[in-house]
Amino acid sequence: MPKDISTSSDKNSIQAAEYVEKPESQLKEMWATLRQNKAAVVGLFIIGMLTLIAVTVWVSELIGVQILPYDPNYSDMSKSFIWPNAEHWFGTDQLGRDMFSRILDGTKISLFVGVAAVAISLSIGVLLGSIAGYRGGRTDAFIMRVMDVMLAIPSILLAIAFMAALGKGLDKAVIAIGLVSIPEYARIVRGSILSVKENDYVQAAKVIGNGDSRIIFKHILPNIISLIVVRATLGVSSAVLDTAALGFLGLGVQPPFAEWGDMLGRARGFIFTAPYTLIFPGIAITITVLAFNLFGDGLRDALDPKSRIK
């Protein structure tokens, strides 16, 4: 007999019998482990700041209040190529627009693109990977060969091909970037489902009468969620990079809207005369990507129960 039964036979038996323990909070433990990792905390802090900037800029635009020092899209040719000074912290670009305002404004687009593209590739990739891994056989072979074909083509090239079919524009860039990274998620999910589905608890779920979709969503996916979350966090950073690359090629955001990659691309001719027009957008991209990578790494440790601190 388990020892807990004997404790309920003492004078507190009624309370003990009625008392049901709360499930332990897995989130709390995760947070405790994450906090130990300084790099991850820094990453999380930067992500928080970026989100704050993006949301503030977006809201102020919606309600029509200008909180950026200058209108990011207002050009004044008489003020072009001003080196960074007290008035224009990051200088002005070739059209005389304030770089500082444009970079803050670009945060909104980069974060949106990162999260939206990951949402697209994550949902489709997890679904395809689950079906392939769980079903196996021909379904698996068909889905994974299609994924292999997509992986065989360099992702930026594939994204350009998608853009050629879909047309230019930010929304299309998001879809293109989302679509090209589907195989990464599908592969990861398929691989882990292959190993998890052999567990007895999945077979047990089948024996008690679960349907296939319930087994996948209730019994298999929760056990590989940490892998998916980590990959998604790292995926945001690569989506930000891909947007920048598309922007650099002039396929992403259309002028005059500010986007870091687009700013880099348009300023590349002035690298010697006005290097600050390249340096600051470059730093913004680097910081964002770094923050997501640091946070993703920390999250991987925090989600692994073996390395968790109690």
Least distance to another protein, CB of residue 246, Å: 38
Q: With binding defined as CB under 8 A, does residue 137 bind another protein? A: no
DSSP string, 101-132: HHHHHHHHHHHHHHHHHHHHHHHHHHHHHHHH
Q: Which is nearer to another protein, 228 or 244 (CB)?
A: 228
Q: Which is nearer to another protein, 157 or 204 (CB)?
A: 204
Q: Which two tokens stand for residue 76?
A: 């004044």
Size of the site for another protein (CB under 8 A): 30
Least distance to another protein, CB of residue 225, Å: 8
Convert residues 201-230 into a mask of x (bound to another protein by CB under 8 A) and - (unbound). Answer: x-xxxxxxxx---x----x--xx-------
Q: Which two tokens stand for residue 106?
A: 């670009």
**SS3 category, 42:** helix
Q: Which residues pair with 98 in a beta bridge?
A: 92
Least distance to another protein, CB of residue 122, Å: 19
Token look-up 């970026």 returns: 50
Q: Which two tokens stand for residue 138?
A: 């021909």
Return d(Cα 66, Cα 44) in angstroms, integer.
Answer: 27
Q: Which is nearer to another protein, 225 or 283 (CB)?
A: 225
Least distance to another protein, CB of residue 30, Å: 13
Convert residues 15-54 into a mask of x (bound to another protein by CB under 8 A) and - (unbound). Answer: -xxxxxxxxx------------------------------
104-107-113 Cα angle (round to 5)? 160
Task: List binders of another protein among 286-305 (CB under 8 A).
Answer: 305
Least distance to another protein, CB of residue 207, Å: 5
* Radius of gyration (C-alpha) of the chain in whole angstroms: 25
DSSP label of 169: S
Least distance to another protein, CB of residue 218, Å: 8
Token look-up 């039964």 returns: 5
Q: Which two tokens stand for residue 231?
A: 């990959």
Q: Which residue ranges make up the site for another protein (CB under 8 A)? A: 1-2, 4-5, 8, 16-24, 199-201, 203-210, 214, 219, 222-223, 305
